Chain A
Amino acid sequence: MDADITLHVDGVSRPVTVDTRTTLLDALRERLGVTSPKKGCDHGQCGACTVLLDGRRVLACLALAVAHDGREVTTADGLGSDGALHPVQRAFLDHDGFQCGYCTPGQVCSAVGALDELGSGWASAVTPDGAQPRLDHDEVAERMSGNLCRCGAYVGIVAAVTAAGARR
């Protein structure tokens, strides 16, 4: 069964007809040609497909497109403004927080979401009970652990996210 929906992707309205079985990820990649979010596992296990949905990080492979009619989707390609990279992207370049680049757009979106969550005081598994979370290695590493990087760029990733967070 098909459904007509409209997704707002990186600030552009994109009407699209999707099979009701189509994930948000496949709708973006295969229907709309938006390939910034990557497919690494299709099971919510690797984080490569992370996008911001109305500002919060989600796994696009675990979302059905038909359930997100009218929603704002921001990919790594839509994070910057006026042609400039987002500070998190700049930090990934500075700290070489990637190698092959396949997990990177998901890492970047996840980092933007994670820094927002941390800034809003959301606790993580490593936040001491009752304390405000601090921007440090353990908090960043914990919050970014849903995004796998097989190249093993974690040292650079945590450094990049921490540096970008410190500039916020």
Chain B
Amino acid sequence: MSLDQVTDGLAISFDLNGERLSLSAPPAERLSEFLRERAGARDVKVGCNAGDCGACTVLVDGLPVCSCTTAAAQVEGRRVETQSGLAKADPDGQALVAAFQRHQAAQCGICTPGMMVSAVALLREVAEPSEAQVQDALGGVLCRCTGYRKIIDAVRDAKGSASVAPGGVGTAMARVDGLPKVTGTEAFGDDVAPAGALTLRVIRSPHHRAAFTFGDIEAWRAANGLDLVLTAADVPGVNRFGVIPGFEDQPVMAEGEAKFRGEAVAAVVGAGERLAMLDLADFPVRWTPLPHALTPEEGLTAALLHEERAGNIMCRGLVQRGDAEAALAGAAHVVEGDFSTGFIEHGYIEPEAGFAERVGDRIEVHCCTQAPYMNRDAVAKVMGLAPEGVRIVPTAVGGGFGSKLDLTTQPFLALAAWKLGRPVRMAFTRTESISSSTKRHPSQVTMRLGVNADGTLAGADFFGTFNTGAYASWGPTVANRVPIHASGPYRFADYRARSVAVHTNCTPSGAFRGFGVPQSAVAQEQLLDMAAEALGLDKLEIRRRNALTNGDETVTGQVFDTGMGILDCLDALKPHWDRAKAEAAAFNAAAIGTKRRGIGVASGWYGCGNTSMSNPSTIRAGITADGRIVLHQGAVDIGQGSNTVISQIFATALGVPVERIERVSPDTDLTPDAGKTSASRQTFITGNAARLCGEALRAQVLRLGNVSEAAVIEITPGAIRLTDGGAERVVPLSGEGYALEATESYDPPTKPLDENGQGDPYAVFGTTAQMAELEVDTALGTVKLLKITAAHDVGKAINPLLVEGQVEGGVAQGIGLALMEEFLPGRTENLHDYLIPTIGDVPPVDTLIVETGDMHGPYGAKGLGEHCLIPTAPAILNAIADACGARVHHLPATPATVRAAILAAAT
């Protein structure tokens, strides 16, 4: 019998995690949506809706499939298993839960259900899978955070039984917030909307630049049965937002002219099912394409995007000391080159999502974000409300890397929910996310580097042009940071670095792990290798000879008494370097085919926190009468681990076991401002606030008990027991709310930069040196990475396993930058035309943790988030050159580019 049905009413019967369900749905509805919205299985994640990311993987009759490219009707009569079910009832699923926790295989956790579901299917077939088997089985699931290595370890060790004990500073304990991520219960931006919330979709410009007018919007709205259409005219406050004071230049919805492809011009709100039937291309808007500029060269001469910015120059940066020109003229060798990198997309697997509702005279927005307080203030301005009129409740964040600092869904949701008085939800499509979110700035760098005959650096002149897109976003930060960092962690008496950020009709460039520093390192670290070649000097040695040490002046004239650990990092690499050098030489001596090995090294440094700007964090904590210890931890954990690190620091400072700490998660109503999660500042700055807060609370307790610093604290219901030497004291706890409470802030000491960029921009720099070993197929131009060895001075590793996780994830992003990633506006707006590394692209990563301590960091700890990716790309490029003599100046080094460089080097 042929079953015949029209549209939406097909009853579909299937097993979901062992339970028989029969639900009605349009037969071709995506299984992912069917499971999430109709069966309530929000543990099925959606990253792309195109088969590209695997986040939506479920088991159908035991086989992992992408539920977003499967029709709901295809599971009729079949058995569907998802992560939450497997974690509960499947032996392999349970083993994996423990293993993923043990190995910290989940960072943000958005890819985790897809990874674990695929791993269950593998383990059912193969009890002890090889690395290759894991790579094949999990190959269709993308992860942007972990670099995959810990995931491979966890799957291979699923049957293992080692346990990790919780502990304070220095302990490699499991994440305090890990369990929901590995059991499928974590709630991300698109998982929190109440039933019945309306859905919002944004109408965006399909042109790089276009004037537009609307047709009869009201008639179109009514005809399609929608609840609301929003345009710029509906913004009650200021239709502008931004992240840097004085640079608030981006409208929520454009007025009359859209300045980049993907810019919002309107938004529509209605029931989800209605919107699903709608082709947004029918929205009544008339476009008149206008001439556009996509590159800085075009931008410099194009019509002004912002009237007050002549030549479309948004801002410039400068650091100069000594006389670079004279130094270069007197150098034994001068190497120079032009280097460029393209737009890089953050590629977090969770698209921007959230919901908002009006609660009395206030608006509450639940969303994935890295900067709740900045979001609150910006939304308030858009809404014409006082900041207190807005509450931002961050959900779990499925990756951020800088792009979830800026406003995305928030103003739309707030506007719609406010107007309608009903909850409204939205999730960006992958295309929308890629076309409209901020990017890493494309860079064009021209640099000259001079060296003396003894291998010391004579001087350098750096000029970097950055494509900052249509709006400012974090562009000024990039323009400021780059000249400070473009020296690398080396001694220069004579140095000049200039940067300029130019507007174009591209999506705004913003913050992305490293704020421009990875781009400058691509030029500077390659030139350093070229200089070593000119001198005939070992590449590691030239770096050692010039490495900054405590007491040296940086290019801004800052002197560090502690914490300048680059030499320690380079020394940590030395034995690995010698081994790899010998191995590569032996391989190449015996090579007869077209494969050649190469090794490369690069350094990196990065100032933690904002550049010469106040950026405090505040932490509050209290002890209740019934003996609960509550930490109001407002630093958003986007997967990097701040929930765990801040808890470990606080517990150590207070002197209690970390597992006793209860966390109040970030919420602008409940947690004080811990600043934004960016600039590698949370461990350092919020960590210091947590340490001060823990110490303050401890001091109160000790005072009450009148005991010494050395006393041991035990907090129990109704009382705190203090043991000091042989003596015991009991301090009773009573009262409503907190019996004891402390709030402490920390703001790193910095000094402003003068007109030559001289000053103390950061209280702390983190340093790193990495080494890449690889194989180039000189005929095809393909590069196979063999190993990355990464030495990082983190001051003090609060949680060594988290350090490794950050490093591996950063290295993976560096691999992407070096070898495959480039966003082309209008062309690579999905996760298949825009390639990020897969599980097959990340080789083993050996992390060497260097702990030189630091006078400012909490327990000597420094930030790490951005450092990890800075040296990776130049180390890889240096290794490619070492293998085959080809210097890649323009990234990414795809097979075609490498091959072209090889041919160019041969002629």
The answer to whether A binds B is: no
